[in-house]
Amino acid sequence: MVAITGTLVQSYNICKRQTWLMAHQIVPDQDHPYIEIGRLLDEETYSRDKKKISFENVVIDIIRSDEGDIVVGEVKKSSKAQESARLQLAFYLYKLKQNGIDAKGLLLFPEERRRMPVELDSDLEQELEHIFKGINLVVSMSVPPPPQKIGYCKNCGYREFCWA
């Protein structure tokens, strides 16, 4: 059984090959501009009301606590991969719930001035549990799934690895 992370959940929805590569500690190109932009956005946006906390294999940003609510924020550069980001954030809510904490989620797209609430309901929990099984199946393969050209490839840190 692989240790499931938010990044694996996110990648599973985008590209199973990426999931396999990440889970096998094959490190993407850290100089890729898209990765650098993501890092800067994460460091600079919402820094005033953000607190990073980590537990188990999860690192999350608590951005606000209104009226007793705990809200977990996830900052993304663009909403193009919105569904994967939604699942990643749902995974964090799931992990919190397992630890006895009910939280709400908020996806933030600062460049688009958009935000999207995410709530963990039973359908979403089942969807995640289905994804966990899928991730374990993919990661247990002895070789990665073959590359398949998708729109995301041009922004992927494994681009050189897959398409050199």
Q: Which is nearer to ligand SF4, 73 or 84 (CB)?
A: 84
User: In a 10 Å sphere around its CB, with 0-12 CB exposed, 13-18 middle and 19+ buried, how is residue 91 labelled?
Assistant: buried
Q: Determine contact, residues 36/45, Cβ cutoff 8 Å.
A: no
Binders in 96-155 for ligand SF4, by CB under 6 A: 147-148, 150, 152-153
Region from 17-25, 33-41, 64-72, 133-141 binding ligand SF4, contact rule CB under 6 A: 17-25
Residue ranges with strand state E in 20-128: 51-55, 58-64, 71-75, 104-109, 114-118
- Binding ligand SF4 (rule: CB under 6 A), the pick from 4, 8, 15, 89 is 15
Say if residues 90 and 129 touch (Cβ distance below 8 Å): no
User: Does 156 participate in binding ligand SF4 (rule CB under 6 A)?
Assistant: yes
Instruction: Show contacts with ligand SF4 in window 22-51 (CB under 6 A).
Output: none
Task: Tell whether residue 18 is a contact of ligand SF4 (CB under 6 A).
Answer: yes
